[in-house]
Amino acid sequence: MNLSQTITPELRQWIIDQAANGVAAPTLIDGMRASGWNEDVAVAAVEQVLRTHLDKVAQEQGLPAALPVPDPDIADSPLFIDVGDRQVEVLMAMANPRVVLFGNLLSPEECQAIIDAAGPRMARSLTVQTATGGQEVNQDRTSDGMFFQRGETPVVALLERRIAHLVNWPLENGEGLQVLHYRPGAEYKPHYDYFEPDQPGTPSILQRGGQRVATLVIYLNNPPKGGGTTFPDVPLEVGPRQGNAVFFSYERPHPSTRTLHGGAPVTEGEKWIATKWLREREFK
Ligand code: PD2
Ligand code: ZN
């Protein structure tokens, strides 16, 4: 379908004007269908015109450009996604911010294998010191952690293959899996996972694969109380259930993505998670 030939300047302006007047996309598409447009072409035209227009407005307002992001195939509301060796459940999905909760990404045995392999290597978590690009101990993040190399153990490798299938993103664009352990009282205060564009340390971080564009927080055990992943701008709290994973993406390194998120304090027991950050390009 060659949309650029189909969308006349008049149609483009009509779509933008209607949207600016508060007409929702489905209503616009209904209107186009009523005047003889094929539904698929109408959907694609509205999507392309509005995306291009919103990008232009965002750039005029000084926002960073939008990047392509990973996304699961859930437009037709499937109950499961086949990731090659497993049926992963789709438990909840939200468009803005893009948040999808998955179930059954890992079995309890696979979760335990990751905890066992990570355990001896755990050390107090550091955060990126954005001023320099170095790492520092931070009171906002009172967990212990470690990083695996990509593909370092058989379970890590199978998890990475599942994630690549699940969100349609090259395995090579993933950072090494991080495992975090929160003791009672430990938390991760709300933050964004992208790198702040204006910080002096950011250019050197971006050399290894560009921006982070999405995160999966994968729950490895069942903390009895607390330890949810919170999204204060929504607001939303995801319970940390073993084998489940919460996915969220951010198409630009900006708070307008509404992806501020944190790890709530663990109030009883302990919490183990694995975090997978996905970059724009191959992470070297
Ligand atoms: O442990 C969590 O739920 C959590 C919350 C926010 C983890 C991360 N961020 C992270 O690893 O980036
Ligand atoms: Zn985070």
CATH value of 80-279 in 3.30.70.2500, 2.40.30.10, 3.20.20.80, 2.60.120.620: 2.60.120.620
- Name the residue of 141, 212, 229 whose CB sits within 8 Å of the most ligand 1 atoms, as the mutation to test its pocket: 229
The answer to whether the CB of 274 is under 6 A from ligand 1 is no
The answer to whether the CB of 193 is under 6 A from ligand 1 is yes
Strands 134-137 and 144-147: unpaired
The answer to whether the CB of 275 is under 6 A from ligand 1 is yes
- Integer Cα distance of 174 and 36 in angstroms: 44
Q: Does 13 score more than 90 pLDDT?
A: yes
Query: What pLDDT, on the 0 to 100 scale, is given for residue 156?
Result: 98
- Integer Cα distance of 87 and 185 in angstroms: 34
Nearest CA to ligand 1 atom 10: 275
pTM: 0.86
Q: How many CB atoms lie within 10 A of CB 275?
A: 19
The answer to whether the CB of 219 is under 6 A from ligand 1 is no
| Ligand 2 (single-atom ion) residues, CB below 5 Å | 193
Of 268, 276, 264, 279, the residue nearest 102 (C-alpha) = 276
The answer to whether the CB of 244 is under 6 A from ligand 1 is no
Ligand 1 atom at shortest distance from the alpha carbon of 246: 3
Question: In the chain, what are the domain boundaries?
Answer: 3-60, 80-279
Query: What pLDDT, on the 0 to 100 scale, is given for residue 5?
Result: 64
Query: What pLDDT, on the 0 to 100 scale, is given for residue 125?
Result: 77
Tell me, in angstroms, the distance from the centre of ligand 1 to residue 152's CA.
22
Whether 7 and 50 have beta carbons less than 8 Å apart is answered as no
Query: What pLDDT, on the 0 to 100 scale, is given for residue 132?
Result: 75
Q: How many CB atoms lie within 10 A of CB 266?
A: 24
State mean pLDDT over 57-74.
93
pLDDT in tens, 79-107: 999 999 999 999 999 999 999 999 999 99
Query: What pLDDT, on the 0 to 100 scale, is given for residue 184?
Result: 93
What band does 1 get if pLDDT is binned at 50, 70 and 90?
low
- Integer Cα distance of 190 and 52 in angstroms: 31
What band does 126 get if pLDDT is binned at 50, 70 and 90?
confident
With a pLDDT cut of 90, the percent of the chain lying above it is 84
The answer to whether the CB of 175 is under 6 A from ligand 1 is no
249 bridge partner residues: 214
Whether 153 and 115 have beta carbons less than 8 Å apart is answered as no
Name the residue with higher pLDDT: 248 or 137.
248
Report the range of poorest mean pLDDT among 51-60, 94-103, 223-232: 51-60
